[in-house]
A and B are shown apart, each in its own frame.
Chain A
């Protein structure tokens, strides 16, 4: 299945990657990258833009904008509730390009879109990619698209210079880790635990093994997500990974305290790096 993907994979590291550049900027500043997730359109389009900007201005190097989807099988209760509400409030998939454009214009963060695959398929992979690139987006994180099925996405991401962030899991075989690392551009998303999104008291010890496997397979950048919610998690993960991904905790903060709370949490989380990362690298336009 992956044979047809091989030519595209060869190109993977030759294209300039916005998310890789963001991670390397953090590294140059003596810390690791902070990556924050928020869904587009939650609780409404403008607030989702304001919240993402607040996260970027309070220490996040990369912003993930999620596309609300009717069947989010990889998401836990908090993100499900948020995206369900966004859909009920009238979110349309094309709104994501406005959110990406606004956040890109207002911050220095690389902006990735995280999406289940069917909304992309429905719009057309090429069309979606073209519009994402036009909006200034860095690329896509694809939780239910594995490289084995991604031939169309390889072609479109190469054509428009977009990052393709695939996931590796604690259950991934060495062969699959190697194949996924080869297919990835930007960074490898290391799933910390066998489960869905959601804040957890501690970060699974399997995360370190997943990152080690990705690095051993040649990944220059591997970032850890799922279950990360506290500065001590950030500190722990920063000791072995290239970046830390926070989602549910930010969504809960937005739910409970609005934009100021999201910004405050981002600042608190970035303090976990133990440097002055909380001093925003992106001070706005």
Chain B
């Protein structure tokens, strides 16, 4: 087939290519309905103007688009596959489920699409340094990767709590040459990492570009980050047409800030027959107060530069979000999603930690694909949607659903092992024997006897 990434960047499925003004695909910002905008300190407005100007020119520059296409193809490995999940589908009412394999991209998630584009823009602006925020570490790793590739200095802000939870990703970033700054303010998670990245940006804006990792923030970030991710949907649309000769009945994606979701959705927004679902992190349950279901339960407000739905208390103070997935653990959401919710084009629903982890295990054991916990929210949603759409349908396999498998689960193995009870009280994987550990050269620890005893209980 024709390389859809190239076709997309050549304008075949470009964001404004042929999209009439009344189309939902015509969404250049700064506003999406009443959402979006620039709720930012004046000090940063000039940098946002410069970025917007650079982006608009780059978008229309064949040389830039060719550069992005080349990196997408020969560095990230695009186009990513569209894989039918036949055994998994049996658990979704028999609907046919296709996985858009963003997990196969270099660095293991969709994040690289945006980061490469923004790093190229940084170079165009003559900036020598990029900064980024990260929650689970995926965007930080992608940013560190792009910085190494393009010869940029890279500083990543990461909540101290997240640094502890995702120590391996901290090491990955450092191995790639980036500096990781643990953020000890506030809740020590993603929103506080964004706060500190913004503080850095204000002070260093002459040399520094802030590579925001999702479709939130001040204009042009929501429209720009979406642009670099639209390749996901452009490819998926072409691939499903090639494989089945028809459009899907539904799309499913997980929503934190919402970048992988908007990337998949955008090419289908004008296809009225395609139902679109975004799945937010329901955490312990939306009635527990411990969740990140921003659209489901939030109210419009401004945070980090955009007006959108927001988890906030009666005073407008941001409420800390909770999710087993660090990548969805954010109390805001991209403004375009807020708009698509209000106009009813996309349906947003919460998925609990339990539902997501069940789907995590199911995909692993039916398809041999370990998904990111973030993406597992989309998979759990697809099971629900599949059952719903096949109800009363004579031939359930007529129902086709595309799920954005936005990332792979390697980073989540420790969390999942703990969740499924694979670890003993010392955090060691049950069933690994004492002799194995010794053979690996581990010092015989004081707890060695206990381990041996555990092993005999297995």
Contact = CB atoms under 8 A, between A and B. Distances in A.
Interface of A: 1, 69-74, 76, 80, 84, 87, 92-93, 117-123, 143-146, 148-149, 166-173, 176, 180, 191, 194-196
A1 B31 CA distance: 11
A76 B200 CA distance: 11
Given A70-B317, A73-B304, A173-B46, 10 more contacts: A69-B316, A74-B41, A93-B316, A117-B302, A168-B42, A170-B43, A171-B43, A172-B46, A191-B43, A196-B202
Contact of B315 (A1, A119, A180): A119
Contact of B186 (A71, A121, A194): A71
A170 B203 CA distance: 11
24 contacts: A69-B317, A70-B317, A71-B186, A71-B192, A72-B195, A73-B195, A117-B39, A118-B312, A122-B301, A123-B315, A144-B39, A144-B40, A145-B39, A148-B38, A149-B37, A149-B38, A167-B41, A169-B42, A170-B43, A171-B42, A171-B43, A172-B42, A172-B45, A194-B204
A61 B270 CA distance: 59
A196 B203 CA distance: 7
Interface string B224-253: 000000000000000000000000000000
A93 B310 CA distance: 18
Contact of A73 (B30, B41, B314): B41
**Interface size bracket, B side:** 35 or more
B41 A144 contact: yes
Contacts of A194: 43, 202-206
A268 B101 CA distance: 65
Contact of B317 (A87, A148, A173): A87
Interface in B263-311: 299, 301-304, 310
A69 B302 CA distance: 12
B161 to A, nearest CB: 16
B191 interface: yes
A180 B42 contact: yes
Contact of A146 (B40, B198, B206, B304): B40
B42 A118 contact: no
Contacts of B195: 71-73
Contacts of B317: 69-70, 87, 119
B14 to A, nearest CB: 26
B164 interface: no
B47 interface: yes
A121 B38 contact: no
B318 A71 contact: yes
Nearest to A189: B42
Nearest to B204: A194
B331 to A, nearest CB: 9
A84 B317 CA distance: 11
B186 A93 contact: no
A33 B315 CA distance: 32
Contacts of A74: 41, 199, 202
B221 to A, nearest CB: 15
Contacts of A166: 42
Contact of B316 (A80, A84, A122, A167): A122
Nearest to A75: B199
Contacts of B23: none
A195 B40 contact: no
Contacts of B316: 69, 93, 118-123
A167 B43 CA distance: 8
Interface in B164-218: 185-186, 191-192, 195, 198-199, 202-206
Contacts of A76: 199
A146 B41 CA distance: 7
Secondary structure call for the A interface? loop
Contacts of B302: 117-118, 121, 144
Report, nearest first, the 10 A-B pairs whose CB atoms are least far apart: A122-B316, A119-B316, A171-B46, A169-B43, A195-B203, A118-B316, A70-B317, A93-B315, A70-B318, A73-B198
A123 B315 CA distance: 7
A201 to B, nearest CB: 15
A166 B40 CA distance: 12
Interface in B24-72: 30, 37-47, 49
B303 A71 contact: yes
B317 to A, nearest CB: 4
B242 to A, nearest CB: 43
Contact of A122 (B39, B49, B312): B312
Given A121-B316, A172-B45, A80 B205 contact: no
A120 B312 CA distance: 13
A164 B224 CA distance: 32
Nearest to A176: B45
Contacts of A195: 199, 202-203
Nearest to B40: A144
Given A73-B199, A171-B45, A196-B202, A92 B39 contact: no
A157 to B, nearest CB: 17
Nearest to A173: B46
Contacts of A148: 37-38
A121 B301 contact: yes
A74 B304 CA distance: 11
A40 to B, nearest CB: 12
Contacts of A119: 315-317
Contacts of A145: 39
A72 B195 CA distance: 7
A118 B198 CA distance: 17
Contacts of B301: 118, 121-122
A170 B205 CA distance: 11
A121 B302 CA distance: 8
Q: Most chain-A CB neighbours within 10 Å: which of B202, B206, B299? A: B202
Contacts of A143: 41
